[in-house]
Structure 1
Amino acid sequence: MAACVSRVELSVACRSLLDGDLSSTSDPLCVLLQDAGYGRWAELDHKEKVKNCQDPEFCKKLVVDYYFEKVWKLKFGVYDIDNKSFDLNDDDYLGGIECTLGQVVSSSVFTRLLELKQEKPAGKGAITDFLGKLDQFLEFDKQSNRAGAWQLLHRAEVIKNNLNPCWRKFSCSLQTFCGGDFNKPIKVQFANHDSDGSHDLIGTLEMTLAHMQTADAGSLVEYECIHPEKKQKKNSYKNSGITRIKSCKQYFILLIITDGEITDLDQTRQTIVNVSKLPMFIIIVGVGEANFKAMEFLDGDNGVLKSVTGEPAAWDIVQFVPFQQFKNAPREALSQMVLAEVPKQLAAMNGRGGPPETARYQGDRDSG
């Protein structure tokens, strides 16, 4: 099984920083580094520069991967930026702290005094880390007719402040989802929602409907959520979370066109009762002058259909329409009658937790 990882979002603020400039107030910038071993530190990310401020509240969020079973040593360094160089060695060091990511995660507000070096305080300077959780949403894309192009087919709701979101199930037609091709790639993108529209990509994955459906056969269906840039830049990168498919079911419509009477009514009743537990609907169109009383009985409009032994159908899944009544009616009248009960039945089954659950997805971690 792929390693599970949570993604945490850190907000940083500083108070009473040293004044590194002679003629003006410092222009602080906060850098987040990770212990790379052998006394070396590797930069993970950095905050924006705040001009002329000794009590900055940085706007940019620091997003890091958190592995519960590992100890990640971090270092927050604050510098006074006086030039456009990316090299921090020519900037004044205003102080920093060393800690573990676990210490930050275990505290909703993590505050420490800044140090210029070990046990040497940086004046009264302090740094505070606010642990935030991601406001996640996901999008499903399918391949369009153009080579390499993707087309949005569904956008899920935003789940706020949750590292382990479980999105609501949704339904769509097989044609819309994958064009009827069970092996057609479907791309899922996970992002952290920002109100200004500048959403941050968490990661992506690709799946097929054929593989997703194995979730209903008892198989554990999981996908690694991968951030392509992080995978390219970091040798130690594994994933940005695990996405687990909880359920993926299709809703079938069986269309029967008949010109005769049922000769095995009892067996047919039992079969309909048995399949009424499945995500399907049976439409029977009677053609000709035959006696269709048995078909009307199977329709169940006058009461719940039961088997010979008295077992009731889980749902009313049969709709009978006599073609003779629509012989002189507009063409669309027959189709409207044939499909009239399908939306109502599908909505009822979904609302009561019934079988026709097209897809339900759970992000096992922050990304999915």
Structure 2
Amino acid sequence: MFATDCVTKVALSIACDNLLDMDAFSKSDPMCVVQLNSSGLHWYEIGRTEKIQNCLNPKFSKSIVLDYYFEAVQKLRFEVYDIDSENCTPEEADFLGQFECTLGQIVSSKKLTKPLVKRDKTPAGKGTITICAEERNDNRVVALEVAARSLDKKDFFGKSDPFLEFYKQTETGWQLAHRTEVVKYNLNPIWKPFRIPIQSLCDGDVEKSIKVQTLQLQAILVKIKNAVFYYDYGVRICILIIICLQIVKEYTFLDYIMGGCQINFTIAIDFTGSNGDPGLPSSLHYINPQGYNEYLAAIWAVGNVIQDYDSDKMFPAFGFGAKLPPTWQVSHEFPINFNPSNPFCAGIEGVIFAYQQCLPQVKLYGPTNFAPIINHVAHFGREALQQQTASQYFVLLIITDGVITDMDQTRNAIVNASRLPMSIIIVGVGAADFSAMEFLDGDNGVLHSATGEAAMRDIVQFVPFRQFQNAGTAALAQSVLAELPDQVASFFNLFDLKPPSDPCPS
């Protein structure tokens, strides 16, 4: 039930330097075997390079191509062997060293160089391995601005509500590729500018025919730029005007990550009284002898994926809904390390440590207000957007057990944040009624503020933790993070912001 499509395919190029020399009368003949572990249980081989004869500094020409999932921790192991004969298997060959990392670490670095180690983790001489990542994807889009004039009136009591349907040609017939918005009550419509992935429209072949269904128009993609098409309905001449058509590159999530965009991860934890006394096993904040509760599980599941995309691994963590010493005033935005000038925790382990130290020092209270912490992160998103670069994107994880008290203010905060480089993940713990959270998640319609203003885009993803109690934390991370790559890329493309350094210049 949690399976998702891969974000894209990634090709890994591998090179080594200063390998151990295992041959008496010549140099080693290296080959690299790549293994994947995405379940946490088993490693399996996904590919191997060619063997390079008599070389201690090989640059392998064969790339290893694999599916990339942002929302999963994909562990990779690179094992280098000295292959002495054509029939020699890795099990029979001399071992030259290995290196383990995640695919997320590679793509966020674009180029990663690390020392090789032996199986006992001691250095394998001075040997190093360099891994480069490259996205394998056609990310061109067709950017269109279209209008029509003198359309036929189809509605008996009013004007038509026109829209366009674009079809691509396949072996089995015409296949719908894109449907525009509906322009209400207008025989001379101008549709909002829109984009269609070139792969969806014509399989990447700009010479293929496409069809616009509404006007029964068929044309060649490369020949309709700045064109006007006439169609005679027998009663009137209808005109379709292609105001502008461009084939442009649309940057992908990996373009931004490999180009230097940092994912800034902030955690907000619900310390309201409805969680129960943390000292009692019935409390959602109770930490059992194994060091586990639903709050810790959610922090670890999401943070374990996100941390690969933040270079300094320093994460601000806040609490809300608690009374704080020494004045015992309620706060809805306090650093759980009690250091307002430096709320950052070192790694996800640091967040977990700060949470455990914070619990006995505060009094759980209320109410459950989201708006303060959303506005706190939005402040930094607004500053980043003013720089007119795609260098930073902000992700806020809110873990809560109850019903939101400041719903109108929260709606307003989310609608405002939808115009910023920011996404919000909400994980509901416990058995409360989370219907209000489902409302904030825009999957069932566009979220509006209390005054009726529509969100620019859907930035909220909500899941109840109870759905994943038997599936494990990896499934939780997969569910809440699956939409994030598209949210990042679509936001920066919407504002026409390129990666800080273009990894694949046109």
Q: Shorter-chain TM-score: what band?
A: 0.3 to 0.5
Higher relative contact order (CA 8 A, sep 6+): 1
Tell me the TM-score normalized by structure 2. Answer: 0.33
Larger Rg: 1
Tell me the TM-score normalized by structure 1. Answer: 0.45
